[in-house]
Structure formats: structure tokens, C-alpha cells
Amino acid sequence: MKINIRNADIKDVHSIALVHVTSWAQAYDGLLPKSFIERRQKLWSNTLSDNLASVLVAEMGNEIVGFLSYRKPRGDQSSNSIELNSLYVAPSLFGRSIGSDLFDYFEKGLLNSSYTQIVLWALDTNQIALNFYRKHGFCETGLQGKERLDGTILNDLQMVKSIKA
């Protein structure tokens, strides 16, 4: 079935949160608190209504099966950087190139912009994500960060990719 990629809007919040939570549940079985889906719905509602990030969704028929979000990076990153904050696909559709389609659409949209690189943070235990990003030309920078999710400490690795026109 054909994948359609478009900008998300507020009516997509529940579907985005559902893809986010099911993807995390698959990748991090047993690490997610029960309240995670409600918090993800609130996060995506705030993100879309307050324009905190740009969000692309991948649809199959009328169903959202993946999403990607990006924004200007926080902190002291170069003004020529754009941060990829999220890229998730419904676990039942892993391996069908939906993530690659979303990423390629996103990257092509940046080719005529002033951005020269894409930065992201990925969990060091998520080998599927790390392999995906490496396959798409990202390299680890050596910077690491930690975040706490309901008592669990997660280690993040920063990755970067140059944008070529």
C-alpha cells in the first residue's frame, strides 16, 4: 500500500501518541510506566498546538503509521543545525521502509534551506535506531547525555549528519 507523507495537525495527536507508545513498548519492554500514553498525548497536543516542533506523519490509507518531528536545537548548537527529535513507526510495520521514507522526505525538504547539518539524540541501548541512523549517514559525535524517565536513567548519544545540496 502507498505511503502518504504530510504535515501533522492537531487532529493527529492521538494517533501520533499511539505510534510513539507502541514503538517504545516494543523497543523498551518493561521500562515504560503505565501513564506513558496519557503523557505522550499531552506532549503531542502541546507540541502541535504551540508549534514547539514541526511534525510529519506517514499515512497508509487513513491510518497514521509513523511520524517524524524536528526543530531548531536547544542549547549551543550551530544556527545551521536542525534537530531531529523523533522518528517512530508502528512496530507491526518495521522493515517496510516507512522510517526511511519519512527521513528522506524530511531531508529533501532541507536541501534548499540554510541548514548544513541534522543533529539527534538516540538511546545507547536502541541498536535498531542506531543502525538506522548510521545507515542514513549519521555519525556519533562523542557527546552523551542522561535523562530520567520515572526513576530509570537513559543514556543518550548525539549523532550528526551533514546535509548535502
Q: Rounded CA gap, 19 and 65, in Å? A: 7
**pLDDT for the residue numbered 53:** 86
Reduce the DSSP state of residue 80 to 3 states and report it. coil
Q: State the virtual CA torsion across 2, 136, 66, 35 in degrees, nearest 10.
A: 170
Label residue 116 by pLDDT band (50, 70, 90): very high
Angle between helices 36-49 and 13-27 (to 10 degrees): 140
Identify which has the larger pLDDT, 29 or 9: 9
Give the mean pLDDT of the chain.
86
**pLDDT for the residue numbered 137:** 96
Identify which has the larger pLDDT, 40 or 136: 136
Label residue 128 by pLDDT band (50, 70, 90): confident
Angle at 48 between CA 108 and CA 11, to 5 degrees: 100
Label residue 78 by pLDDT band (50, 70, 90): low
pTM of the model: 0.84
**pLDDT for the residue numbered 64:** 94
Residue 19 CB coordination number (10 Å): 26
User: Please, what's the largest Cα pairwise distance for the chain?
Assistant: 44
Label residue 43 by pLDDT band (50, 70, 90): confident
**pLDDT for the residue numbered 59:** 96
Assigned C-alpha cell, 94 = 518495521
**pLDDT for the residue numbered 35:** 64
**pLDDT for the residue numbered 31:** 55
Label residue 23 by pLDDT band (50, 70, 90): confident
